[in-house]
Structure 1
Amino acid sequence: MSAEILTILMFCTLMASIALGHPLAITLAAVATLFGLIDNGGNIEGLFDLFVNNAWGLEQNYVLVAIPLFIFMAQILDRSKVSEGLFDALYIVLGGLRGGLGMAVIVVSTVFAATTGIIGASVVAMGLMAGPALLRRGYDRGLASGIICSSGTLGILIPPSIMLVVYGGLTGMKETSVGNLFAGAILPGLLLSGLYLGYVAIRCAINPSLGPPIPAEDRTATVAEKVMMTAKSFVPPFGLILTVMGTILAGVATPTEAAALGCLGAIVLAIANKKFNVEVLKSSCEATLRTTAMIMLLFVGGKLFSVVFLSMGGGDVVADLLLGMDVNDYVILAIMMAVVFMMGMFIDWAAILLVVVPIFTPIASDLGFDPLWFAMLVCVNLQTSFLTPPFGYALFYFKGVAPPEYTMGDIYRGIIPFVIIQVVGLALMVTFPEIITYLPSVFFGGG
C-alpha cells in the first residue's frame, strides 16, 4: 500500500476514533499499532522494539521533569488564594471605570497566568471570584463569559507554561529551547492581554450598559489606600514570577531548576497567606500526580503515533503536498495554521503538538521560517483551542463553576469576539516577527 493511501487512512481512522469518544492517548497508541503493523508487514517484534526505544527516549528527556514541578507549583498557588487579594484590590482601583471590573479580571488573570500555567486553575478561580461579581454589577453575561474564559486561557501561553515545556522537549532544538520559548512568549502573551483590555474598554465606552462602573459608595478608598492595596497584593505573585522567570532568563537556572524554586516560592506564599497545611499538600500532590500521569500517557501515545506516521513516509507526503504547491510561502503557513486551528476544535493541545510538530517543523524550516517564530505561532494558535466549540475546555470549566444565570448560549456568544482577537493577534505576530523574537535575542542572542 502506498504512503499516500496509508497517510489518508491513518488520519481518517484517528479522526473517526476521536469522534466516537475513545480516550485520546489510547486512541493514538492503538492507531499507531494498527498502521505500524500494516506498514511493516505484521512484524510485531519489530514494531515493539520501535515503540520501546522511542517511549524510553521520551521518558529520558530531562526537560520534561519541569512538568510535574510547574503543575505542583500551580496547585499550591491555586489553594493559597493568591489571586483573591489582587482581585479585591483591583475591584476597588478599576471598578469606577466603564468596563473596569472586566479589565480587573483580565489583569488578575494575566498575573495568575504567569504563576500557574494551568488553564483549569485560572478559569475556575476567575469563574468563582469574578463570575458572580460581574453578574451582580450588571455586566452583559456574554461579555462577562468571554472575559473570564479568554483571559483564563493566557495561562497556557504566558510562561511558565506547560505547553512551552512540552514544545521544547519535543523539538530538542537550540532555537526552540524552553528558555527561548519562555522569552519569546512574554510579549505575545502581553499583547493578547492588551488586546483584550482594549476591546473591553472600547465596547463599554460605546455601550456603557455592557459593563457599568461600580457605584461610588463602593469605592471610597483614598488614592494612598488604593496604592497600598494594589502593592500588597501584587508584590508576592510578582516576586514569584521574577524568581522563576528571572533565573531562567538570566541563565542562572535551567527551567527544571527554576520550576523547583517556584515550588518552594509557592509554598512560602501559601504559608504567608496561612493557607498551607497537610491537607493542602496532600491534595496538591494528588492533583499533580493525576495531571502528570495524564500528560505523560498522552506523550507516549502521541510519540508512538508520530514515529509510525513518519516511518511510513507520512511526513514526506504532507511535505511534498505543501511544498509542491505553487503559492507564496505565507499561504502555506496560513494552511498549517488553519490545520492547527481546526484540530484545536476537537483534540487536546498536547496531542496536537505531538502530531503536528514532527510534521510541520521540517516544512517550516524548508520554507526558511525562524523555528522559534514558527513555534510561537503554533502555541498562540493552540490557545484558541480552549475557546473554540465544540470542545473548548475553558468554556466547560467556566460553566461548571458559574452561577446558573450564565447559559451555554451566553458563553458561546461571548467568546466569539475574543477568538477573533486571537486571530488578529496571530496576524500581528506574522506581520511583526519582532514581537516574538526580540526578547530571546536580548536574553539569549537567538531568534
Structure 2
Amino acid sequence: MKIRKELYFGFTLMALIIVAALAMVFSVDKMTNGHYGLLMLSLVVVAIMLGFPTAFTLMGMGMLFAFFAYHSGGQTAAGALKQTLDLMVQRAFSVMGNDVLISIPLFVFMGYLVERANLIDKLFRSLHLALARVPGSLGVATLVTCAVFATATGIVGAVVTLMGLLALPQMLRAGYDVRLSAGVITAGGCLGILIPPSVLLIVYGATAGVSVVQLYAGAFFPGIMLAGLYIVYVIVMAKLKPDWAPPLTAAQRAVPLPAGLMAIGATSDGWAPGSLISALKGRRNQSVSSGYLLGQLGIALLPAILFALVAVASYQSATRVVVEESYTELQAMGAGSNQDTSSGGGLAEPEGSGLAAPPSADAAAEPPGAGAVEEPPGAEPAGQERAAGAVAEPPAAVAAVTGAGTDAPAATTKPASTGFWIGLGVGALALAAFYAILSYARLEVFKMLLSSFFPLLVLILAVLGSIVFGLATPTEAAAVGAFGGFVLAAAYRQLTFGVVKESVFLTAKTSAMVCWLFVGSAIFSAAFALLGGQELVEQWVLGMNLTKTQFLVLSQVIIFILGWPLEWTEIIVIFMPIFIPLLDNFGVDPLFFGLLVALNLQTAFLSPPVAMSAFYLKGVAPKHVTLNQIFAGMLPFMGIQVLAIVLLYMFPGIGLWLPQVLYK
C-alpha cells in the first residue's frame, strides 16, 4: 500500500507538470520556438520520472527539437538533419575534451577502493569507544564516521548502505530510538554531496564554468558547519531525552588490553606513561621484552613528538624574516645616486635658487625685510645639511637591513606574535590534559584510531590540501588519492583481484553515466538555446522585478522541488545551464550559488516522500524499521539543513572566506 501511495505521488507530480505544459500551450495565441523549448523541458522531466534513461532521453529530446529548430528556420530536412548531427558531434567532442571531468573516475575509484578496504568497521568501532562518554556517543560516532567516509568516497548510496549495515543494528541494540538512528545515518550519509572531494562540485564547476579548486575551498567550512550542527542536535536530544540515546554501559565501553600489557600489571584505569616508564626501569617483568615496552611508550609519546615538531616548524615560520634582496638593492642604488648628486649641488641648488632669486629681483619693494631676505640664504646651509642628511640616511638604513656596506649581520628573525604564543599555550594545555587522562584503555583506543582514522585522515588531507593550496590540480590530486586508496587497501590486506575488478567495474559504470549525462545535457542545452527557451525564461524572471534575495529564494525552492523526483546529476546538468545565465542580472556569485545548491540538494535527499537516502537505508534495515519511521527521523535533520542554508546566506563568509584568502 505504501508503494502505491508513492506511485500516486509520482503520477500526481507528473500530471501537474503535464497540466502546466498544456496550460502554457493553450494560453498563448501563437506558439513560438521558446514555448516549444519549455515544452521540451517538461517532456524531459516527465520521461525521466517514468524511468527512461536520463542521458539518452536528453540526447533524444535534444536532437529531435534541434532538428525542429533548424527545420523551422527555413532549412530543408536534409540540411536540418546534417546540422543536427554536426551539433551532436561538436557537443560530444567538447564534453570529452573537458579536463575537469578526468578527475571524476579517479575520485570514484578512490572511493570504491576505500569502501572495500573494510576501514569503516574499524573506524566506527574506534570512534564510538573514543567518544564513549559523550552524550549520544553512538550517534555522534556515526556522524563523524559518515563525514570522514563521505570525504573519502563521496558516494551517498554507499555510505548510507554501509552505515545502515554497521551502525543501525548497534544503535538499536543499545536502546536508541529508531527515528533518531535512521535520521543520523541518512543525514550523515548525505554529507558526501557537500564535503570535498564531492563529485557534485566537479559536475557543477564543469557546468557553470567555476573553478573546482575554489568550490572545494568554499565547501570546506559549510560542510564542517553542517556536520557540527548535526552533532550538536544529537547531543542536545541525548540530554533532553535520555531514553532516545541512552549512554553506553560499562561492558560496551570496555576495551580489552593486550597480553603484553597485562603481564606488567596494567589495568584499564592505570596511567599508561608512568606505568610504562616504571616497567622499563624495573626488573620484575622478564616475560615482556624491552623492545615491546619501548614500542608502547613510543606510541604513547607520539602526540608529544608530533606537537614538538609542529611547534618548532611554526616558530621558525613565525619568526623568519623574508628579505627581498632585489628590492632593497634597488633602493640603495637610488639613494646613493641622489647622494652623489647632492654633493655636486644638484639637490641644494633648487632650494637655494628658489629662496635667493626673488630678493635680488624685488629688493627695492621690500626694504624692511632685508633681514628676512638674508635669513633664508643664511639658513640655506642648514637646509642643505638637512637635505644631505636626509639623502644620506636611507642608504645607512638600508645597509643596516640588508647588511650591504656595513659589518653588522643582517636581521633574519623577528619576535613571534602574541597569537602564536597563545596558540602554543592552548596546544600545550590540551597536550597536558591528554596525558593526564591517558589510561591504558585510552591508549588502546588511540592505537585503534591510529590504524583506522589517521590513515584516512592523511589520505584526505593529502588530496584536499594539495588541491586547496594549489600544489596540484583536481585531476592530479585525484590520481594521488586513487594511489592512496591502493596503498590503504594493500596495507589492510584487502587488495585482491576481486576487489580491484569490482572497483574498476563500478568506477567505469559511474563515470560512463556522468559523461553520457554531460553529452546529453550539452545537446539538450544547445537545442534549448536554439529554440530561444533560455531567453523566454530570462524575460519571465526579469519581468517579475525580483530582488536578489527573492531570486535566490525562488531558485532554491525550484531546485528543492526538483530534488524530489530527480537525481542531483540531472538537476545540475539540465537546470543549472538555465539558472547560471541569470546570476549576472542579480549580482550573484556563481561560486556562492553553487554552495547553496549543494546544501539544497542534500535537503532534497532527505525530504519525503521521494528521499533516496530513506530507500537506501530501508533496503538494509531490519524488517521492523518502517519507511515512515525513517521519514520521521529525517525531518529534524532536513530542518537543520534549511537552517544551514539560511546561515550561509546571512553570513556568506562561511563559504567565501577561504577562497578569498587563498586565491584573491
> TM tier, shorter chain?
over 0.9
Q: Does 1:296 align with 2:333?
A: no
> Which of 27, 37, 40 is equivalent to 1:10?
40
User: Which deviations, in whole Å up to 9, do the C-alpha atoms of 1:178-227 show, x marking residues without a partner?
Assistant: 10011111111111101111111112211111111111222134333333
Whether contact under 8 Å (1:299, 1:350) holds in the other structure is no
Distance 2:568 2:601 in 1: 6
User: Which deviations, in whole Å up to 9, do the C-alpha atoms of 1:5-32 show, x marking residues without a partner?
Assistant: 2233122212321232222222222222
> Which of 89, 94, 108 is equivalent to 1:57?
94
2:215 partner letter: L
2:567 partner letter: D
Residue equivalent to 2:162: 125
Give the 3-state SS of the residue equivalent to 1:251 in structure 2. Answer: coil
Whether contact under 8 Å (2:65, 2:527) holds in the other structure is yes
Residue equivalent to 1:155: 192
Distance 1:242 1:154 in 2: 17
Whether contact under 8 Å (1:96, 1:215) holds in the other structure is no
Distance 2:152 2:59 in 1: 33
Distance 1:139 1:368 in 2: 47
> Which of 50, 53, 73 is equivalent to 1:20?
50
1:418 partner letter: F
After TM superposition, give the deviation of residue 4 of structure 1 in Å.
4.0
Distance 2:213 2:489 in 1: 27
Between the two proteins, the alignment pairs up a number of residues equal to 442
Whether contact under 8 Å (2:183, 2:634) holds in the other structure is yes
Residue equivalent to 1:29: 59
> Which of 420, 423, 437 is equivalent to 2:642?
423
1:43-442 equivalences in 2 (<5 Å): 43-172=80-209, 176-221=210-255, 222-442=441-661
User: Which deviations, in whole Å up to 9, do the C-alpha atoms of 1:81-114 show, x marking residues without a partner?
Assistant: 1222121012212234331101110011111111
After TM superposition, give the deviation of residue 262 of structure 1 in Å.
0.4
Distance 2:530 2:223 in 1: 36
Whether contact under 8 Å (1:160, 1:182) holds in the other structure is yes
User: Which deviations, in whole Å up to 9, do the C-alpha atoms of 1:104-131 show, x marking residues without a partner?
Assistant: 1001111111111111221112111101
Q: Which of the pair has more CA radius of gyration?
A: 2
Distance 1:127 1:317 in 2: 46
Distance 2:602 2:58 in 1: 22
Distance 2:158 2:200 in 1: 15
Structure 1 residue ranges without an equivalent (≥5): none
2:220 partner letter: I
RMSD between aligned residues: 1.5
Whether contact under 8 Å (2:548, 2:586) holds in the other structure is yes
After TM superposition, give the deviation of residue 47 of structure 1 in Å.
1.4
TM-score calculated relative to the size of structure 1: 0.95
Identical positions, percent:
41
Structure 2 residue ranges without an equivalent (≥5): 1-30, 72-76, 256-440
Distance 2:105 2:239 in 1: 43
> Which of 19, 26, 39 is equivalent to 2:69?
39
Whether contact under 8 Å (1:96, 1:216) holds in the other structure is no
Distance 1:124 1:340 in 2: 25
Give the 3-state SS of the residue equivalent to 2:472 in structure 1. Answer: coil
Distance 1:98 1:252 in 2: 40
Distance 1:9 1:409 in 2: 35
Whether contact under 8 Å (1:299, 1:351) holds in the other structure is no
Distance 1:10 1:433 in 2: 36
1:89 partner letter: S
2:641 partner letter: Q
Distance 1:244 1:310 in 2: 38
Distance 2:611 2:61 in 1: 24
